[in-house]
Amino acid sequence: MSQLDVRPCRGCNWCAKHGQCIQRDDMDSLYPRLAASDGLVVAAPVFFYGLPAQLKAVIDRAQMFWNRKYRLRLPVRQPPRARGRGVLLSVGATTGRQLFTGTVLTVKYFFDALDVDYGGDLLLRGIDARGEVKEDSQAMEQAAGLGKNLVAGFSGAGRENKVEMENE
């Protein structure tokens, strides 16, 4: 993700009229992959109580999907699946109660724009050094379980994790 050239959303609202983004960059190849993905894994550390800018740029550019879905009433996904399923993995250095609040909300709304069900998350506090999480065998098992659960959801089971969205 961080190697991709994805520029920030300009808020120009072109997509609200045309159902496509006016900017030409690496989102050109990401848009169809997001629309066709059965399973989506978002993995990112907490940066200032939110998502790193590179990933946030991708999510903001998903405003194209939001406009297709809610303004233009156009499909956002490629057949055959009507809905995808996604999970979130995140780490942060500190231990505050609200550490993942912003990240989780943003990812839930990102998934909603893509017709992707939120299939759970693994949110780990107190992880600062690169690779440190690999030493936590319980966390690694939980991550593997999340992955298995994600795949199990494709057989039709596991839809029980569908979450209620916050009111605007």
Ligand X SMILES: Cc1cc2nc3c(=O)[nH]c(=O)nc-3n(C[C@H](O)[C@H](O)[C@H](O)COP(=O)(O)O)c2cc1C
Give contact residues for ligand X (rule: CB under 6 A).
Answer: 45-49, 91-94, 99, 127-128, 130
Q: Tell the smallest beta-carbon distance from residue 146 to ligand X (Å).
A: 17
Q: Tell the smallest beta-carbon distance from residue 127 to ligand X (Å).
A: 5
Judged by CB, which is closer to ligand X: 92, or 153? 92
Judged by CB, which is closer to ligand X: 64, or 88? 88
Exposure string for 100-117, b = 16+ CB within 10 A, e = fewer: beebbebbbbbbbbbbbb
Judged by CB, which is closer to ligand X: 65, or 100? 100
Tokens 């809905």, residue? 83
Q: Tell the smallest beta-carbon distance from residue 43 to ligand X (Å).
A: 8
Cis-peptide into 45, omega within 30 deg = no
Radius of gyration of the chain (CA): 16
Judged by CB, which is closer to ligand X: 78, or 94? 94
- Judge whether 52 and 44 are in contact, CB under 8 Å: yes
Judged by CB, which is closer to ligand X: 113, or 124? 124
Q: Tell the smallest beta-carbon distance from residue 78 to ligand X (Å).
A: 30
Residue ranges of alpha helices (H) inside 92-159 are 101-113, 137-152
User: How do strand 84-91 and strand 116-124 relate by DSSP bridges?
Assistant: parallel
- Judge whether 61 and 113 are in contact, CB under 8 Å: no
CA angle 73-107-148, nearest 5°? 105
Q: Tell the smallest beta-carbon distance from residue 87 to ligand X (Å).
A: 17
